[in-house]
Structure 1
Amino acid sequence: MMKKILVTGASGGIGSQTAVAFAKCGCDVALHYSKNSEKAESLAEKLTNEYGINAFAVQADVSDYESVCKMFDKIDSRFGNLDVLINNAGIAQQKLFTDITPDEWKKMTGVNLDGVFYCSQQALKRYMIKNHGGVILNISSMWGQVGASCEVHYSASKAGVIGLTKGLAKEVGLSGVRVNCICPGVIMTDMMKGFDEQTVQELKEETPLNMLGMPDDIAETAVFLCSDRARFITGQIVGVNGGMII
């Protein structure tokens, strides 16, 4: 595959596993993180040593335009190019709609939606349009498709990612750029730590395959969608959810 990849939110469960999956394919990987520098830097070192690729950690607040620009400057000096952008960075919160503060709303949409806008725009302007090629893959959520009670701000931000994916795919198709979106179901990551065992079991039973997803399920789908095997796939919303949302 030999491509240069940026994975945002690479210190989290899905992001780190996605970075590993691309490194296994021989890709150079930039691992974005917001706060967890230790995890991102140790993973970059591990990927470099194990797979002989060029991996490095880079910090940014994806909800801040200037911060994103600085991150891309660093990618520019290290890679000089970018073939694939995985917009994975995201936050979640469970709260009654009437209790959500304006700041919480702004933070949620800032990270989950503005971040996708800023990173995608930089990738397109700096590399993909002039190279007449590239792939942007956005990570949304099944709640962006159907909505979740007590997660209205999360659902709204993730629904925005779906709309952005479809519109952008139509706009940049003639520039040789593909844009797709994965909507994960319940995936066993740190985001699930707040749920007790009974709730996890109930979620499992609600899923037609009677199992919950692992980060690897998302990572392997991501590798396929960003590869030449998926060259005729763009503007698609791919549910990886065990059948919970059909």
Structure 2
Amino acid sequence: MSQQSATPAPKHGLLAGKVAVITGVGAAETIGAVTAGLFVEEGARVVATDISGAQNETAAEIGPAAVPFQADITSEEQVAALFAFALDTYGRVDILVNVAGVPGSRRTPEITVEEYEAISSTHLLGTLLTNKHAVRAMAPTGGGAIVNFSSAASFNIDERISPAYSAAKSGVNSLTKSFAVHHGGQGVRVNAVAPGFTLSKKNTRVPAEALAQLSGKAALGRPGTPQEQAQVAAFLASDRASFLTGVVIPVDGGWTARLA
């Protein structure tokens, strides 16, 4: 077992003593990076994972309770290596938060095969592989909690969103429910967060007109923040949600409650 296993587990917080693998932990101010920081604040030790290399800087900023790991979640070999690293580093895995994804905005008037494959491989295959290997890591120690990130676009259609993205995120919802049903007997809970328009780093570059339109879709009349998404993920991953599994929670300020 590596030296990191000697890092003392924090004794306080919603996730005290838990070990979490979090994917999509890229640059600062993204949902993944904010989630990793919040989980450490709540007492967890984190394996901060991304494909980009940015996870190294993010983990360093969070502190010694976060260690980085680079992986492409569409590769089963790399996903297996990720969970092997987590087990070697901390001795167990209690939580998976699967945030990794690719942008879902419309790219061309018609969907190309390249667009479909880029979106579906990350969101569908990536969710399948991370959940599969999380279950393998969690089951021997009595279970754990998986939180997948879906999207409000999985429920209804928005003209700005790629149809391939909406379909892939609907698939994430289905995989979430399937893993919840198939592995509940092993003590593994699986839920999903479905963000509405959230002012993460990439969305700060949205043109002002589009920003106003997207923000106004929420019943609360504003965009969400990465912190608001991370807080719901932390609850779902915690023991306070011990009888909650197989659900997809829209964290969208009331966007999906509208008829149009």
117, 140, 145: which is aligned to 2:128? 117
Alignment match, 1:161? 172
Deviations along 1:67-126, one digit per CA (max 9) or x if unpaired, are 21222222222122110000110002433676322222112111111111111111111x
Shift of 1:213: 0.3
Mind listing any 5+ residue stretches in structure 1 that lack a counterpart?
A: none
1:99 partner SS: coil
Alignment match, 2:13? none
- TM-score (norm. length: structure 1): 0.92
Q: How does 1:45-194 map to 2 (within 5 A)?
A: 45-48=60-63, 53=65, 55-95=66-106, 99-125=110-136, 127-149=137-159, 150-194=161-205
Aligned length: 239
Shift of 1:215: 0.1
Q: Distance in 2 between matches of 1:169 and 1:41?
A: 32
2:49 partner SS: strand
| Residue 25 (1) aligns with residue 42 (2) | yes
Q: Distance in 2 between matches of 1:75 and 1:132?
A: 17
1:63 partner SS: coil
- What fraction of aligned residue pairs are identical, expressed as a percent? 31
Mind listing any 5+ residue stretches in structure 2 that lack a counterpart?
A: 1-15
Residues 185 and 59 (structure 1), Cα distance of their counterparts in 2 relative to 1, 3 Å cut? same
Shift of 1:209: 0.5
Shift of 1:167: 1.4
Deviations along 1:156-201, one digit per CA (max 9) or x if unpaired, are 1110000011111111111111100000000001331452111111
1:239 partner SS: strand
Letter in 1 for 2:46: V
Letter in 1 for 2:48: L
CA contact (8 A) 1:2 1:25 kept: no
The runs of at least 4 aligned residues of structure 1 exceeding 6 Å deviation read none
Q: Distance in 1 between matches of 2:91 and 2:201?
A: 33
Q: Distance in 2 between matches of 1:230 and 1:73?
A: 27
- TM-score (norm. length: structure 2): 0.87
Q: Distance in 2 between matches of 1:120 and 1:167?
A: 11
Which is helix-richer, 1 or 2? 1
Deviation larger for 193-202 or 204-213: 193-202
